[in-house]
Amino acid sequence: MLLRTKLFGKNYEFADIRVLMGKANEEKSGDRLAGLAADTTVERAAAKIVLGHVPLITLRQNPAVAYDQDEVTRVIDDGIDSAVYEQIKGWTVGELREFILDDRNDGERLLKISPGLTAEMIAAVTKIMSNMDLVTAARKIRVIRHCVNTIGEEGTLAGRLQPNHPTDSPEGIRASIYEGLSYGVGDAVIGINPADDSYSSVARLLDMSYEVIQAHKIPTQNCVLAHITTQMRCLEKGSPVGLMFQSISGSQKGNEAFGISVGLLDEAYALAKKNCYPLGPNFMYFETGQGSALSAEAHNGWDQLTLEARNYGLAKRYDPFMVNTVVGFIGPEYLYDTNQIHRAGLEDHFMGKMSGISMGCDVCYTNHAKTDQNASENLAVLLTAAGCNFFMGVPMADDSMLAYQSTSFHDIATLRATFRLHPAPEFAEWLESFGITNQSRFTSRAGDATIFLNRTSK
């Protein structure tokens, strides 16, 4: 294999696809930490040029981890639709980019070629796309899924209500749920990150959140983001579970670090289809994020963007209701500053959509990254323009348990108003009937958590 170009009179040669894929990435501190980043900006430009000439067939033949060594590779490769693949395998990555951006090819057309693409192909084309390419391409694709309600329809933007509490106090979490609902947030899911992963604590939070949903007849689903084995135990013992959650990784070794495998996920999915209370047919919720495989030393010498694409290839197997990247959570050694976090957010969102995933984003950062809340607000605007399915709603964006900053209830309400978007249709109807909105506009009750208390008359 010869992978070479001349640029400004100088030769740039890349040893193999792995090296080329690393050097073709936009600047990321995690790729540099892994020793995969381009040495110079011109070398990066050269890598992008060479990658643009690589045919898709070569990318299928060079997965990040070999087929016989990695079950994530097998899931993705075995899932390829051969009829579609045969039509496109001769295309170069550059041609794929132009097909995706061609204004005659709408979202439906893009979703028709999606089953012929491996994660490495989607990662490759993402590397040679600019930020606005990623926005406009993702904007074409609508992925609509149904659990209790419907997510992803044109003209909608949903919010995950994230009412975490440092010690899992059911009263404290309930208070944050009321606050979020009063801002019209919670249609994607009422999703609680538990501090304590034990069965009894998780079961208690499932019961509490389900009671709130039942008491106020809210058309949404609940979820407690414990380890999937804990949720399975809850489900087996009769707890009301709306969505089953798990963090996933782009390699078998990375998933082992999370204590999961394809076999375990298969089992959880079968159980969810059987025992989750909603109508479905989509019952799964996954979180991802660039750098997680590297931090577990499970990246097999590949760059963090390619590993991230493989998350979506794996997630697809379970036809999830929702998937989000937690884009700034991992810290500055993987995504250093605002530029890198923004780029990764746009990349992940596009790659998820291109994989046929109902894709959202936890637009967030930790306090040691070189960024701030203004930058998060910017990325939320960019992703809304890109047709993102949902964001996180955290009280004033400050998660009191996980000690990081995400997006707020106010942010979701503002983005809907600014872009003229609505909540999930069933949820929007409920907001009207509950008097939080009137003809889609906030009433004086909006933003008042006490309207959910029994002592208050409507």
Partner 1 sequence: MSDDHIDELIEAVLRQLKAEGLVASSSNLRSQADNSQTAGSHTHTNISADLVIDSDDPTTSMQRIIPGLENAADQDALVMLMETTTARIGVGRAGYRPKTKTLQLFQSDFAISQDALYREVDPVLLQKFDLFQVETMITEGKEQYLLRPDLGRKLSSEAMALIKSRCVKRANIQICVGDGLSATAIEVNIPKIMPVLISGCQSVGLSLGTPFFIHHCRVGVMNDIGDILEPDVVILLIGERPGLGRAESMSAYMAFQPRSGDTDADREVICNIFDNGGTNPLEAGAYAVQLAQTMMKNRGSGVKMRLSKDSER
Residue ranges in contact with partner 1 by CB under 8 A: 29, 32-33, 163-166, 169, 171-176, 178-179, 183, 332-333, 336, 366-368, 370, 372-373, 394-398, 400, 403, 405, 408, 410, 413-414, 417, 442, 444-451, 453, 455-456
Dist CA 26 CA 4 (whole Å): 19
CA distances in angstroms from 332 to 78, 132, 303, 314, 449, listed in the order given: 35, 24, 16, 26, 36
Minimum separation from the CB atom of position 271 to partner 1 (A) = 30
Minimum separation from the CB atom of position 184 to partner 1 (A) = 10
Dist CA 292 CA 204 (whole Å): 30
443: exposed, middle or buried (C-beta count within 10 Å: 0-12, 13-18, 19+)?
Answer: middle
Minimum separation from the CB atom of position 408 to partner 1 (A) = 7
| Residues facing 151 on adjacent strands | 145
The answer to whether 258 touches 249, Cβ cutoff 8 Å, is yes
Minimum separation from the CB atom of position 131 to partner 1 (A) = 23
Compare residues 80 and 449 and give the one whose CB is closer to partner 1: 449
Minimum separation from the CB atom of position 316 to partner 1 (A) = 33
Dist CA 359 CA 355 (whole Å): 10
Other Cβ atoms closer than 10 A to 270: 10
Sign, CA dihedral 335-336-342-343, equals negative
Compare residues 79 and 166 and give the one whose CB is closer to partner 1: 166
Compare residues 173 and 298 and give the one whose CB is closer to partner 1: 173
Dist CA 81 CA 288 (whole Å): 24
Compare residues 42 and 396 and give the one whose CB is closer to partner 1: 396
Neighbour-count burial for 5-42, b at 16+ CB within 10 Å, e otherwise = beeeeeebebeebbbbbbbbbbebbbbbbbebbbeeee
Compare residues 164 and 325 and give the one whose CB is closer to partner 1: 164
Continuous segment of H or E residues that includes residue 159: strand 158-161
Continuous segment of H or E residues that includes residue 410: helix 409-419
Minimum separation from the CB atom of position 306 to partner 1 (A) = 21
Residue 202 identity: V
Compare residues 23 and 165 and give the one whose CB is closer to partner 1: 165
Compare residues 125 and 326 and give the one whose CB is closer to partner 1: 326
Dist CA 181 CA 187 (whole Å): 9
Minimum separation from the CB atom of position 440 to partner 1 (A) = 12
Minimum separation from the CB atom of position 178 to partner 1 (A) = 7
Compare residues 53 and 216 and give the one whose CB is closer to partner 1: 216
